[in-house]
Structure 1
Amino acid sequence: MHTNILKNSIELGQEAARYSADIINDAIDKNGKARIILSTGASQFDTLKALIKEDIDWEKVEMFHLDEYINLPVSHPASFRKYLKERFIDKTNIKDYHLVNGEGDIKEIIEKLTIELRREPIDLGLIGIGQNAHIAFNDPPADFGTEEAYIVVNLNDTCKRQQVSEGWFASIDDVPDQAISMTVYQIMQCKHIVSCVPSKAKAKAISDMFKNPVTNQVPATMLKMHQDVELFLDSDSASLL
């Protein structure tokens, strides 16, 4: 894992976007296309804003994302499908994308996503880290054993409080209890991982990731086992290192 510490979230996003664009364009040059996984949430605002401005032929990119709440309508402000449509899909000419739908037959939805995801390797995963050190919605204790691509997970109170503090829900009782999440195993299959983690609220999670051995009680520690992770922090999230 290589760590970059930038002054603030805007500079972090710009630097991470440039780095990610190089990986995407290299994959397009070599394979005629690139396959990526995107994170959502407030921590990814500046990275996505910068990424869509990079010189990338988005028609040659296939996109997946990490997670979605179960039984949350796409019209809800907290829907990650809505998030990606408004902040990424509608702002690029990307045509090939697969959204995690938390409404309907969940087993069938996961099966279809898995087939599409595993057709070819994923070139780049942009993977955030939560306040409880989760990656995707794999809250502690995360399932490090499963080799499924997506699973149904229960959201813990720390995770729910983060969603409220970021303004997605009015109260903790409004946050859904479950979500569909890409597994830790599947995240680790990405060829390259870029992790963008700004804000003081993430400082303890980053500190815990570095000071602990690999443990499902601090899910982000698994990223230290990947062969190619570029971590982007700002001065706030790095403040406890």
Structure 2
Amino acid sequence: MDIRIFETSEELDQYAAEIFRKLINEKPNAVLGLATGSTPVGIYAKMVEDYNHKKVSFSGVTTYNLDEYVGLTPDNDQSYAYYMNKNLFSHVDIPAIQTHLPDGMAEDPQEECVRYEAMINACPADIQLLGLGHNGHIAFNEPDEHLSAGTHVVQLKEETLEANARFFASIDEVPKQAYTMGIGSILKANTILLVVRGSDKAHIVKEALTGPITTQVPASLLQTHPRVTVLLDREAGRMLG
């Protein structure tokens, strides 16, 4: 596990964007596993900057997102489809047909899980970008006695609803369920890039990266993957030796 700590978010974002740029320039048809939330916003901005400066083209790239809320349409400004278009897709030359997220409005959720998992299996990610939740969740894989390997629908825990409430008018509007790649789906990626920011994540960073491997801290399973790069700001990494 390659752990890097940065003094500023700007430096972290630049480093992460360079990882993506180098991969795409070496492999123009690269498959990217992407994440949402506040963590990747600066990274996507740097990727767009690289595109605008003609340092990279996304025309051959395929993307798969980790998750999507159940019941939100793609044009809902809190859906992850909307987020991806706002922060990345609409600013670069990637064809819409090459971008993939679970369908939040699918009539049959179980069928949608099977469909999405089949696509991931047929096209494993060259790199999977991840953030880290305060309770150790990655994507929407919440702490539990057992974790699902493949794409599934999850009932979101109260702490996750509270953490996401800032994006909605009230906590009552936060969807209670979400589609998510499973831990097994995530671990199929060739390389994993975990990005964490903030002093409030320092404890869970230490648990996930150096503690025992347990389903109660889903991110700890990343310790089993042979190629994980972890990018932390100084505050998130403050408890590591």
TM-score by length of structure 1 reads 0.90
Q: How much has 1:87 moved relative to structure 2?
A: 0.8
- 2:116 corresponds in structure 1 to 113
Q: Does the 8 Å CA contact 1:62/1:97 hold for their aligned counterparts?
A: yes
SS at match of 1:122: coil
Measured in 2, the distance between the counterparts of 1:171 and 1:216 equals: 30
Are 1:35 and 2:34 counterparts?
Answer: no
The CA RMSD measured in Å over matched residues stands at 1.6
Measured in 2, the distance between the counterparts of 1:97 and 1:117 equals: 12
- 1:185 corresponds in structure 2 to 184
Equivalent runs, 1:35-184 vs 2, <5 Å: 35-54=31-50, 55-95=55-95, 96-105=98-107, 106-141=109-144, 143-144=146-147, 146-148=148-150, 150-164=151-165, 167-184=166-183
Q: How much has 1:21 moved relative to structure 2?
A: 2.0
Q: How much has 1:5 moved relative to structure 2?
A: 0.5
Measured in 1, the distance between the counterparts of 2:145 and 2:73 equals: 26
The 1:43–1:125 alpha-carbon spacing in structure 2 relative to 1, beyond 3 Å, is: same
Q: How much has 1:199 moved relative to structure 2?
A: 1.9
Deviates more, 1:10-19 or 1:82-91: 10-19
Amino acid corresponding to residue 159 of structure 1 in structure 2:
T
Measured in 2, the distance between the counterparts of 1:228 and 1:47 equals: 20
Q: Does the 8 Å CA contact 2:110/2:152 hold for their aligned counterparts?
A: no
SS at match of 1:36: strand
Amino acid corresponding to residue 160 of structure 1 in structure 2:
L
Q: Does the 8 Å CA contact 1:81/1:101 hold for their aligned counterparts?
A: no
Q: How much has 1:180 moved relative to structure 2?
A: 0.3
The 1:179–1:93 alpha-carbon spacing in structure 2 relative to 1, beyond 3 Å, is: same
Cα deviation, 1:95-126, whole Å, max 9, x if unaligned, reads 11112221122223223222322223321111
Q: Does the 8 Å CA contact 1:35/1:62 hold for their aligned counterparts?
A: yes
- 1:18 corresponds in structure 2 to 18
Gaps of 5+ in 1: none
- 1:9 corresponds in structure 2 to 9
Aligned residues: 233
Q: Does the 8 Å CA contact 1:20/1:194 hold for their aligned counterparts?
A: no
Measured in 1, the distance between the counterparts of 2:221 and 2:139 equals: 12
Deviates more, 1:43-52 or 1:186-195: 43-52
Amino acid corresponding to residue 177 of structure 2 in structure 1:
Q
TM-score by length of structure 2 reads 0.90
The 1:79–1:181 alpha-carbon spacing in structure 2 relative to 1, beyond 3 Å, is: same
Q: How much has 1:196 moved relative to structure 2?
A: 1.3
Deviates more, 1:195-204 or 1:2-11: 195-204
Measured in 1, the distance between the counterparts of 2:69 and 2:7 equals: 32
- 1:204 corresponds in structure 2 to 203
